[in-house]
Chain A
Amino acid sequence: MKNVVSTKVENMQPSGIRAFFDLVLGMKEIISLGVGEPDFVTPWQIREAGIYSLEQGFTSYTSNKGLYKLRLSISRYLKNKHGLEYSPEDEILITVGVSEGVDLGLRSIINPGDKILIPQPSYVSYGPVTELAGGIPIYVDTKREGFKLTPKALEKHIDKKTKAIILNYPVNPTGISYTKKELSRINKALLKHKILCISDEIYADLTYDFEHTPFAALTGAKDNTLYLDGFSKSYAMTGWRVGFACGPKDLIAGMTKIHQYTIMCVPITSQMAACEALVSGRKSVEEMKREYKRRRQLMLEGLNSLGLSCVKPQGAFYVFSSIKKTGLNSLDFAQKLLREQKVAVVPGRAFGRGFDDYIRISYASSMDNLKEALNRIGVFLKRSTQ
C-alpha cells in the first residue's frame, strides 16, 4: 500500500541514531553506559504488592483518572514533602509515565501554530510530540550558560504565539538542575508573559547537591504549572509505566478527556504497586540515591582525569561530556568506542542540534562496570589521539 503513512508522521524527524541503537542492541558482552533507566530492580515490597494484587484478582479497569487511593496517596505525599496542595478529585491524573503526561499536556493546550519553548539539550520526545500536537517547537540552546536556561535566553525566544515551555530538571541528558532561586527567576519571566510551564520532574528524587524545588511550589506558579512526575526513576519502576500529572482543574479535565479515549487507564497492577511504593519505598529511594551520588563522584573524577570535561551534574544519573578534543563527531565517537572497546554511550546529537561534540554517559550501572568502562575509555582516547 502506498502513502499509508501520513505526511505529518512521514515528516517527523527520526532521531538520526536509530542505526547506532540497532548496532548496540546487536552486540554482546558490552558495558552499556547508554541506558536511561536505573540498574536496580524495583524494590521487593513494591513488586510483591503487584503480585499480590494479581493473586487477589485485581485485573479490571480503574477509573480513568487512576485509582482514587493512588491519587490520594500522591496528594498527601506532595502536601507533606513540598507543602503542595492538589485535590485527588480533580487535580491529579495518573498517566502512563511522564511521557504520556507530556503528550496529554501538549495536546490539551496547543492550537495550530502555537509555539512551545524547549531548552536544549533535551529529552528526545519533546520536539516531535509538540509537532504531532500541531505546535511549533522553539529550541533554546543553553550551552553558553553551562546548560542552564536563563530568563534572558528565555525572553529572547518569546513572542505572541508562545504558549508554554517544557522545563525538565534535573535534565536528561546533562544532569543539570536548578536551585530555588534560579527557578524563581524563570517563574517570574513566565508569569510576566503568561506562559504555561510544563515541568517534567521525573528525576526530582535524584538531586544531589541541594533540595529539589517543584516548580509549582514557587510563589504564584501553581496555577500556571503542569507538574509531571512519576515512579520510574526514583523507585526503579520504569517498566511499570506509572506517572502522574498535577495541575489546574480545567487542564487536568482536558487531559483526562484525551486519556479516557486513548488509554482508558493505567494498568491496575502497576497502580497498585505504585501505591505500595509510596508506603514502603522511601527507604530504598534514599539508598539508591546515595549509591548514584557516589557513582557520580567516581565518574566525574574519572572523566576529568581522562580529559573529558563536563559541567558538573547535580541530579539524574547522566554526565554530558565534551568530546571536542578528539575531533570526532558524537556518532563516530560512539560507534568507534563501541566497536573498539565495547562500551556504549549515547551520541549528543540525539538531544538536539549543536550537541554533536558531546556524549551522554549514564552511571546507572554497577561500580565495577563504571571502573572498567573508565579504563576502556582511557585506552580508547589514548589510541585515537595517537
Chain B
Amino acid sequence: MDEILEILEKDARATPEEIAKMLKKKPAAVRSAIKKYEKGGVILKYKAVLNKGLIKDEDSAVRALIEVNIAPQKDVGFDKIAERIYSFPEVTSCYLISGTYDLLLVVEGKNIHTVASFVSEKLSCLENIKGTATHFLLKKYKEDGVILKHKEENKRIAISY
C-alpha cells in the first residue's frame, strides 16, 4: 500500500504538507496523489471515529447484525436485491458473505423497536428474501481496528537513556 494511504488511514487530518515532509516528497506531488485516490474512489471520505457510548445527550442508537437469506435472481445474482436493501438508510453496512447466509447487514435504529419494525415491515417483505436472523449488539469493544476505551495511560517512564 502506498505510504500516503497508510498515513491517512491512521490520521485523516494529516495535511499534504505534513505528509510531504514525512515522505520527503513535494507537497504538490502528495496533493495530486491524494486527488487521484479520491477520484478513483480509493479514498471515499474522511471522517472522525466516534466512541458514541461516551456522548451523553446522544439518543442511544441500537445496532443489529442481520443475516439475510436470499433467492438470487437470474442474470444479476445478488446485486439487484442487495441494492434494494442497502438503499435503506437504516442499513449502515452490507456484505455478501459465504456460508449459511448470503447477506450480512449492519442496521442502526433509535431503539430496539425501530430495528424490529425495519426487519418485520420492510426487510422481510421484500421479494426473494427467504429468511432473516437478527442479532442485537450488546457492547462494542473494537471497531475498524480501533479499541473503544478511554485513552490509555502512558506506561513508559518519561525519560531514559
Residues of chain A touching chain B, judged by Cβ–Cβ distance below 8 Å, are: 21, 24-25, 27, 30, 32, 34-37, 39, 41, 123-125, 172, 290, 294-295, 297-298, 301-302, 344, 346, 350, 367-368, 371
Contacts and interface: CB of A to CB of B under 8 A. Distances in A.
Given A294-B3, A298-B18, A301-B21, A25 B11 contact: no
9 contacts: A24-B158, A32-B158, A125-B161, A294-B3, A294-B7, A295-B22, A298-B22, A302-B21, A367-B11
B156 to A, nearest CB: 6
B160 A34 contact: yes
A344 B158 contact: yes
Contacts of A24: 158-159
B24 interface: yes
B22 A34 contact: no
Interface in B1-60: 3, 6-7, 11, 14, 18, 21-24
Given A36-B160, A37-B156, A368-B11, 11 more contacts: A21-B159, A25-B159, A34-B160, A36-B161, A41-B155, A172-B161, A294-B3, A294-B7, A301-B21, A302-B21, A350-B161
* Pairs A-B, 10 closest by C-beta atoms: A294-B22, A34-B159, A32-B158, A36-B160, A301-B21, A24-B159, A36-B161, A297-B22, A124-B161, A298-B21
B158 A35 contact: yes
Nearest to A295: B22
A124 B22 CA distance: 30
Interface of B: 3, 6-7, 11, 14, 18, 21-24, 155-161
A39 B160 CA distance: 12
Nearest to B25: A297
Contacts of B160: 34-37
B158 A30 contact: yes
B159 to A, nearest CB: 4
Contacts of B3: 290, 294
Contact of A25 (B23, B155, B157, B161): B157
Contacts of A344: 158-159
Nearest to A31: B158
A295 B11 CA distance: 14
Contacts of B156: 32, 35, 37, 39
Nearest to A351: B161
Contacts of B157: 25, 35
Nearest to A15: B161
Contacts of B18: 298, 371
Most buried by A among B23, B155, B161: B161
B6 A290 contact: yes
Given A294-B23, A295-B22, A298-B21, A35 B159 contact: yes
B145 to A, nearest CB: 12
A34 B159 CA distance: 5
Contacts of B21: 297-298, 301-302
A298 B19 CA distance: 9
A123 B160 CA distance: 11
Contacts of B23: 294, 297
Contacts of B7: 294
Nearest to B160: A36
B93 to A, nearest CB: 25
Contacts of A34: 158-160
A136 B92 CA distance: 70
A348 to B, nearest CB: 12
Contact of B159 (A123, A125, A346, A367): A346
A371 B23 CA distance: 15
Nearest to B159: A34
Contacts of B158: 24-25, 27, 30, 32, 34-35, 344
A25 B14 CA distance: 31
A301 to B, nearest CB: 4
A155 to B, nearest CB: 29
Contacts of B11: 367-368
A125 B155 CA distance: 24
A257 to B, nearest CB: 28
Nearest to A34: B159
